Structure 1
Amino acid sequence: MQSNVPPFSELLANTRSSAVHLEMRDDYGANPRLEAWRRGERVDWADRDSWWHDFNQTIADAVARGVVVRRARVVSEPVSEYIRWEYDTTQGNVASGEDVRWLPRSQARGFLVPANDFWLFDGKLLRIHHFAGDGSHVTDELSTDAQMLNLCGSAFETIWQRAIPHSEYKI
């Protein structure tokens, strides 16, 4: 399935005040960095050049412009191998300027959430992610539908209020 959605870097470059990301899957498929982690390779956080990627710079540039970037992850416990890897590498997100929180799925009750992960830019543009059953990314779509913006924004804020800051969450 082809997507005509602009790259994330372009969407974030046009963001003025806030970008929030909700992640709710326990596995997002294989990738080379996950495979290296499985082999026992760990990030050398003292060697920034070895782990600082274009994504990190995109986030850092947005934060430097005054954009608040927040990421909330709803996770099953005990966490999956993928989430353990993500947890280990979240230091890079934080170093880039993201504020990251974790919400155990067992505490995500009493409210409704969208069925898809998403980014919400300035509360005005929604980038919805679609994944296959194995966790691999299929496509993204954009929406400016007011009802969807409100639903996703409200769901994110509810999760954010309940979630545990990365520095305090332990797996």
Structure 2
Amino acid sequence: MTTPVHEGLAKATQSAVHLEMRDTYQPSDPEFIAWQQGKRLDPAGDRSSWWRPFLDVVAETTARGVVMQRARIVSEPVTDYIRYEYDVTFPNIVAGEQVRWLARRKAADIALPGTDLWMFDDKAVLFTYFSGIGEVVDREWRTEPAVVDLVKSAFETVWERATPHEEYRPR
């Protein structure tokens, strides 16, 4: 399935950054529900048990030399959904994505966009709009220089302050 994110990644030549700022996403996600019921991914186990199709896209993108960075701004103590995301992030790292975490209180003085986003090659921003419970309701591409500059500045500041996944421990 081709999505706007896949399209952006396919066209990216240098960078793809993803900023996540919600504490809950898609609570009806079957994988999240399975995690709530005790399912855990085993990094040492059979790779096919934890590899997802999106990770093929990540691996292909990073193999082309595109730097992929994901920053997550989270409330602490974290929600169950964020704890789930933390637990299932190691495959993203294996695929070549860099992931960092920032406690929301350390982001209070950063001018942030109003919603989650992807930015590709510092040229195009894909905003994702969610319902109150975290279901995706719309996406919008923006390329105006002022929008790109805001996103670039916000992401760089978040990235600089954030803790690498390997060092972060959810509280």
Does the alignment reach a TM-score above 0.5? Answer: yes
Measured against aligned partners, the alpha-carbon deviations of 1:78-100 in whole angstroms (never above 9, x if no partner) come to 00000000000010111111100
C-alpha distance in structure 2 between counterparts of 1:110 and 1:11, whole Å: 29
1:29 aligns with 2:26: yes
Q: How does 1:5-44 map to 2 (within 5 A)?
A: 6-30=3-27, 31-44=29-42
Q: What amino acid is the match of 1:36?
A: A
Segments ≥4 residues shifted beyond 6 Å:
none
Consecutive unaligned residues of structure 2, counting only runs of 5 or more, are none
C-alpha distance in structure 2 between counterparts of 1:7 and 1:104, whole Å: 28
1:10, CA displacement in angstroms?
Answer: 2.1
Q: What amino acid is the match of 1:138?
A: V
1:59 aligns with 2:58: yes
Tell me the C-alpha RMSD between the 2 structures.
1.2
TM-score by length of 2: 0.94
Q: What amino acid is the match of 2:64?
A: R
1:6, CA displacement in angstroms?
Answer: 4.8
Change (3 A) 1:75 1:69: same
C-alpha distance in structure 2 between counterparts of 1:25 and 1:44, whole Å: 26
Q: Which residue of 1 aligns with 2:149?
A: 150
Q: What amino acid is the match of 1:25?
A: R
- What is the number of equivalent residue pairs in this alignment? 167
Aligned to 1:151, the other structure's residue is in SS state helix
Consecutive unaligned residues of structure 1, counting only runs of 5 or more, are none
Q: Which residue of 1 aligns with 2:106?
A: 107
Task: Identify which range, 5-14 or 76-85, moves more after superposition.
Answer: 5-14
Aligned to 1:128, the other structure's residue is in SS state strand
Aligned to 2:25, the other structure's residue is in SS state coil
Measured against aligned partners, the alpha-carbon deviations of 1:33-81 in whole angstroms (never above 9, x if no partner) come to 1011011011132211122121101000000000000000000000000
